[in-house]
Amino acid sequence: MKKYLLFDIDGTLINTGGAGLKAMKAAVAQVLERKDLLDGYSFAGKTDAQIMKDMGRAAGLNKNISGLCAALREHYLDQLKRNLENSDNFKIYPGARQLLEHYHNQADFELALLTGNFETGAELKLGHAGLWKYFKWGAFGNISEDRIHLAEHALETIAQKEKTLAPENIFVIGDTTNDIRCGKAIGAVTVAFSAGFEPEEKLRAGDPDYLVSDFSRMYDIFGS
């Protein structure tokens, strides 16, 4: 069986320098005509679908939540593309590209995405970073607002490729306790990457199998 490396995006591989947050704020202001809904709201580990539904509910517009989310998504993706092009603080975390390049070229490994981003948003972000090419497939925020459902979808995808599932060969890599939670839900090995979005103490309390702050440590975890 191959080893499957399932990566989160924001706070794990890249930092958009605020491009994503600005895009979401612009979409909420445009569609819901409210600038305060995101005040104090935590994006950590949440899917784009969940964030948008939360904003609709907060605005008291439950009856037309599907239509609102469709409009929010359209405005968000449009703004995201513009913001990425103008983001001065966009960065790829040190060692991320080298790690992806290393495992991308090995037949015994398969790289995929397990992210709350809509697929188009994921492609925009990773395309801007030059990292999109490394991933064969993904479980994206289009599927469900619940991150655990994304993990279950990823597991089903792997099950279609493998006669026997071996959870010890599936790794979920992310920077939040929600990433840890969804990895545990499918019995995967959980690797928490500390980039500062959530305190290390909080990540440690989520009981990941590994907690690292340096991509160079992942080679020992995944093997070569």
* pTM of the complete model: 0.93
Looking at the chain, how many residues does it have? Answer: 224
Distance (Å) of CA 102 to CA 9, 52, 151, 190, 220: 18, 36, 24, 20, 13
Name, in order, each residue with C-beta under 8 angstroms of 23's C-beta and a sequence gap of 6 or more: 76, 77, 79, 80, 82, 83
Among 137, 24, 134, 146, smallest CA distance to 83 is for: 24
Domain-by-domain residue ranges, the chain? 3-16+91-222, 19-85
Superfamily of domain 3-16+91-222: HAD superfamily/HAD-like (3.40.50.1000)
Q: What is the pLDDT along the chain (224 residues), one digit of tens a residue?
A: 899 999 999 999 999 999 998 998 898 888 887 777 778 778 777 888 888 888 877 777 666 677 778 888 999 999 999 999 999 999 999 999 999 999 998 999 999 999 999 999 999 999 999 999 999 999 999 888 889 999 999 999 999 999 898 999 999 999 999 999 999 999 999 999 998 778 999 999 999 999 999 999 999 999 98
Q: What whole-number distance in Å separates Cα of residue 6 and Cα of residue 222? A: 12
Give 222's contacts (C-beta < 8 A, 6+ positions apart): 3, 5, 103, 109, 171
SS3 state of residue 192: strand
Q: Which of 46, 32, 28 is nearest to 150 (CA)?
A: 46
